[in-house]
Amino acid sequence: MNKQIVVLPGDGIGKEIMKSAVRVLQAIAENFNHQFTFSEQLIGGAAIDQDQSPLPQATIQACKKADAVLLGAVGGEKWDSLPGDQRPEKGLLGIRKELGLFANLRPIKAFSPLLHASPLKEELVNGSDILIIRELTGGLYFGEPKKRIPEENAVVDTLYYTQEEIERIIDKAFQTAKTRRKHVTSVDKANVLESSRMWREIVEEKSKAYPDVTVNHLLVDAAAMKLITNPKQFDVIVTENMFGDILSDEASVLTGSLGMLPSASVRTDGVGLYEPVHGSAPDIAGKGIANPLGMILSASSMLRQSFGMEQEADEIENAIQTTLEQGYHTPDLMIKNGTVVGTEEMTDLVIGNLATNEASKCICNS
Ligand code: NAD
Ligand code: IPM
Ligand code: MN
């Protein structure tokens, strides 16, 4: 297959982990006889430095024409004092909005060799398999007004949703739950927020169309506690933009590291954007030690969801499993008795463990 992939490395470790993802995809292309064409574009701080904008028009146009988009991470101290609408993060929010990517799917499932890498008890982590579906283009992040009000010595952010915006993300949650363990937990703050009360009504109404899917509602504060005290109760979690942002970083603890989590930002049809959950990690950027697995898993999710390449995606995920079984890990994973490797070495190991590469190794050795 011939696919055009736009690559947005961004800032900090975004650049380092993107190299890993592209190398893995190149290996897959070679092994499976695909043609992947990578077009690198600017976003975030890198785009501000070169183009005075966190989201240049050329980037938007390239993404709209692509078969899929891969994104590393944006942001860094250098740009932290810029006004809100000129910050690197605005580039990321902008491309999600431009592409209409209203659903962000964040799977949380620990690889078996990492069950003991979490600070949580192994018996609590073992068997948990959660998909957080975060609403991505509305809610508190996008509502207007959003501004300083100097004459009142005040500030305002707005949590705004249309009924249609809530309905489509709830539909996405029910439809996805049907392909999994058929349970949806809707997380809100309905004891305080009017937007959450409407959200809850819509969940109840929509649930009638999915009689084979069970539903419960949790308030976000309690949900945050239950995620790490009894994660096995969850299948699909659906929630507002900012709640989903916070809960997914928390849930990453189950997998051993925030660096393990991939995500897919999608719409009902059209181009998808695949991005790890973590940020540009300025504290470790440039050191060559970032965990590339969340980014590589985002690339495999792209193969599966945008290109229908199930076998190719399985091969990447199996290679990661094998590499972890062999005891290799980047320093963010707190594992005793393992072998600590850097970003590039981890990438080499994963590529070496791709089944097709393994098979050719066997032939060479025999
Ligand atoms: P962060 O996710 O960048 O880092 C949080 C912690 O996790 C750090 O200690 C970091 O070293 C560690 N970490 C994250 N990813 C890792 C990886 N792959 N391997 C090893 N360790 C990893 O969050 P932050 O420090 O709060 O934010 C830093 C910058 O990133 C900010 O500018 C923020 O706006 C931006 N950010 C961007 C995105 C994105 O582009 N999707 C997401 C979150 C934060
Ligand atoms: C994420 C990030 C972004 C978000 C920021 C950088 C705008 O935290 O992708 O999780 O909050 O959506
Ligand atoms: Mn986040």
ipTM summary value: 0.99
Tell me: do 201 and 287 sit in the same domain. Answer: no
Q: Is the CB of 73 under 6 A from ligand 1?
A: yes
CA distances from 281 to 13, 76, 287, 310, 334 (A): 6, 8, 11, 31, 17
Domain co-membership, 8 together with 43: yes
Q: Residue 366 has what pLDDT?
A: 47
From 227, 255, 283, give the residue that closes a domain: 255
CA dist 202 and 51 (Å) reads 43
11 CB near ligand 1 (under 6 Å) = no
291 marked as part of a ligand binding site: yes
Contacts of 27 (CB under 8 A, 6+ apart): 351, 354, 357
What confidence score (pLDDT) does residue 361 get?
Answer: 65
Asked if residue 130 and residue 213 are part of one domain, the reply reads yes
Residue ranges of the chain with per-residue pLDDT less than 50: 366
Q: What is the pLDDT of residues 328-361, one digit of tens each?
A: 999 999 988 899 999 999 999 999 999 877 766 6
> Based on the domain organization, do 202 and 274 belong to the same domain?
no
Query: Does residue 3 sit within a domain?
Result: yes
Q: Is 219 among the domain residues?
A: yes
- So what's the pLDDT on residue 356? 79
Enclosing domain of residue 136 = 118-255
Query: Which of 232, 255, 278 marks a domain boundary?
Result: 255
Name the H helices within the chain. 13-32, 44-51, 57-65, 88-98, 122-125, 163-178, 194-207, 220-229, 241-251, 293-305, 310-325, 343-352, 355-365
Ligand 2 atom nearest the C-alpha of 136 is 12
Nearest ligand to residue 275 Cα: 1
Q: Look up the CATH number of the domain holding residue 198.
A: 3.40.718.10
Task: Indicate whether residue 245 lines ligand 1 (CB < 6 A).
Answer: no
**Total domain count, the chain:** 2
Q: Are residues 238 and 127 in the same domain?
A: yes
| Eight-class DSSP state of 158 | E
For position 195, what pLDDT does the model report? 98
Expressed in angstroms and rounded, the spacing between residue 245 Cα and the centre of ligand 2 is: 7
Residues 139 and 245 in one domain: yes
The answer on 70 and 124 residing in a single domain is no
Q: Is residue 113 part of a domain?
A: no
**Whether 192 and 66 share a structural domain:** no
81 annotated among ligand-binding-site residues: yes
The finding on whether 92 has its CB within 6 A of some atom of ligand 2 is yes
* Last residue within a domain, chosen from 225, 255, 285: 255
**140 and 219 fall within a common domain:** yes
DSSP conformation letters of 6-40? EEEEESTHHHHHHHHHHHHHHHHHHHHT-EEEEEE
Within-domain flag for 83: yes
Residue 260 lies in a domain: no
**Residue 332 falls inside a structural domain:** yes
Starting from the CA of residue 280, give the closest ligand.
1
215 and 236 together in one domain: yes
Amino acid 270: pLDDT: 86
- 112, part of any domain: no
* Closest CA to ligand 2's atom 11: 245
- What residues sit around ligand 3, an ion, with C-beta below 5 angstroms? 245
